[in-house]
């Protein structure tokens, strides 16, 4: 089969199926920025589709064989698009090569002297965003691919002209094994995506393979606080920079002060003061994300002031403790947390903010994750003062397990299971008061609840 890099030259013609997704729309713009002629299709209209059309990239709604026109030279698809898709069938019938999204990003990364790839069970989007802020402050003009929206970029991507690409690298379906990192950041390793991985050891094996992709003159940036991460890199022969709150880490923090949603701390590198930082996102987990970003950027020769001012300008990424507005005097925030570990660090951070009540609206993501991590979810969902449970967001799955959010509700005393968003919104209208924080949490479409309530008050 042809290699994707053979098509990375101006004038080549490609078609992207599922082009409206975060990563696919970013890929379309990056390819267009490299001089390729790009079109695409998606099942739905949306903000990303509108943005692509404004940039001159035609997008068709619906998947049809005739969308693969005579001049198409290659096709790129998302993981959700299978071989029975009419556009995929048309491409195969005509001998047009079909590539996975991650193959395309991996080929693009080969063109950069510095490919900074951030992976981990949690914190990828935030840390990738922090790295972007630092590298922009350092005037490195990076190309960027993030799995969320970064206000600095007004998008989830950036087409730069420097020699650095910054990429969020996801382990699901071993997607990150298509990348070619010169700097690989491993934030943490936990059991997740158990509809694909067999168990934690299988997850660790894939992260180990990812670390092995770093060349000898590259760097692996690893979380010294996380035993699984250190196990993953135990026999890595290349250069390793560790980060963490453990004082033995190469990059660590001291004198951490929390001031409301902000924090201030000093960053040490090899035992010496590197810089001090004021961070405008809450929680100890974000201090650790900042240490990871700092360690990664140190490996690329970034100076202390770029770290200091880059992190000072970071106010969060889209759907990562994102402030939506106020409703009945309550603060409304949204967060993408969909794993018990993510719920824990989110609630740890929020509990430090001294709200009178934490009102959590949680929408579990996928049946397999809910079943596999059920007890861990229950443990975290017992923490908020008020808990509303929306039905599980199916995403890519069918409910062959027979599980429901109602099962979680039975194990969490006082929780309220609601089959529709309308019921949750009515309940929030009745109970939200000044001094409350209302959190809509999950990787599905639960964010719409908070957005609709805030919009009512405008």
Residue with tokens 């002209």: 161
Task: Please say if 168 is a catalytic residue.
Answer: yes
Cα distances from 190 to residues 43, 102, 227, in angstroms, run: 33, 22, 10
Burial of 420 (0-12, 13-18, 19+ CB in 10 A): exposed
Q: Which of 102, 121, 125, 127 is catalytic?
A: 125
Whether 124 sits among the annotated catalytic residues: the reply is yes
Catalytic residue, chosen from 124, 204, 288, 308, is 124
- Residue 127 appears among annotated catalytic residues: no
Q: Is the Cβ–Cβ distance between 355 and 349 less than 8 Å?
A: no
Contact 359, 389 (CB under 8 A): no
Q: Which position among 121, 132, 164, 168 bears the catalytic label?
A: 168
Q: Round to whole Å and give the CA distance between 115 and 218.
A: 9
Residues annotated as part of the active site: 124-125, 168
């Amino acid at each position: 089969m042809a290699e994707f890099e053979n098509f990375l030259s101006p004038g080549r013609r490609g078609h992207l199926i599922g082009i409206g997704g975060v990563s696919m729309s970013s890929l379309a713009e990056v390819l267009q920025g490299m001089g390729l002629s790009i079109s695409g299709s998606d099942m739905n209209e949306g903000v990303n589709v509108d943005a692509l059309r404004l940039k001159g990239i035609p997008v068709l709604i619906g998947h049809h064989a005739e969308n693969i026109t005579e001049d198409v030279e290659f096709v790129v698809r998302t993981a959700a698009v299978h071989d029975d898709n009419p556009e995929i069938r048309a491409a195969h019938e005509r001998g047009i090569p079909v590539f996975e999204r991650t193959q395309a990003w991996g080929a693009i990364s080969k063109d950069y002297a510095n490919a900074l790839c951030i992976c981990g069970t949690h914190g990828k989007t935030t840390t990738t965003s922090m790295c972007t802020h630092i590298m922009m402050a350092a005037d490195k003009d990076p190309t960027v691919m993030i799995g969320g929206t970064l206000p600095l970029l007004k998008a989830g991507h950036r087409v730069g002209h420097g020699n650095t690409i910054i990429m969020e690298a996801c382990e699901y379906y071993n997607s990150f094994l298509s990348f070619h990192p010169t700097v690989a950041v491993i934030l943490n390793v936990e059991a997740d995506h158990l509809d694909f991985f067999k168990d934690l050891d299988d997850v660790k094996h894939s992260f180990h393979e990812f670390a092995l992709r770093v060349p000898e003159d590259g760097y692996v940036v690893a979380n010294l606080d996380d035993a699984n991460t250190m196990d993953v890199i135990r026999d890595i022969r290349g250069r390793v920079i560790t980060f963490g709150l453990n004082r033995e880490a190469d990059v660590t923090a001291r004198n951490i002060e929390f001031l409301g949603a902000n924090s201030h701390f000093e960053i040490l590198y090899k035992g010496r003061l590197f810089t001090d930082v004021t961070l405008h996102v809450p929680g100890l987990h974000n201090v650790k994300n900042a240490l990871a970003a700092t360690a990664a950027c140190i490996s690329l020769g970034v100076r202390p002031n770029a770290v200091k001012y880059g992190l000072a300008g970071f106010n969060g990424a889209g759907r990562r403790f994102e402030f939506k507005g106020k409703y009945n005097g309550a603060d409304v925030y949204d967060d993408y947390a969909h794993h018990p570990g993510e719920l824990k660090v989110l609630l740890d951070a929020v509990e430090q903010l001294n709200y009178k009540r934490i009102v959590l609206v949680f929408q579990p993501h996928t049946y397999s994750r809910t079943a596999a991590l059920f007890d861990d979810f229950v443990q975290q969902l017992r923490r908020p003062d008020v808990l509303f449970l929306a039905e599980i967001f199916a995403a890519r799955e069918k409910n062959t397990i027979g599980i429901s959010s109602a099962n979680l509700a039975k194990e969490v005393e006082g929780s309220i299971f609601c089959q529709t968003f309308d019921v949750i919104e009515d309940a929030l209208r009745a109970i939200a008061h000044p001094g409350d924080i209302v959190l809509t949490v999950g990787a599905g479409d639960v964010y719409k609840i908070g957005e609709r309530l805030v919009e009512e008050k405008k």
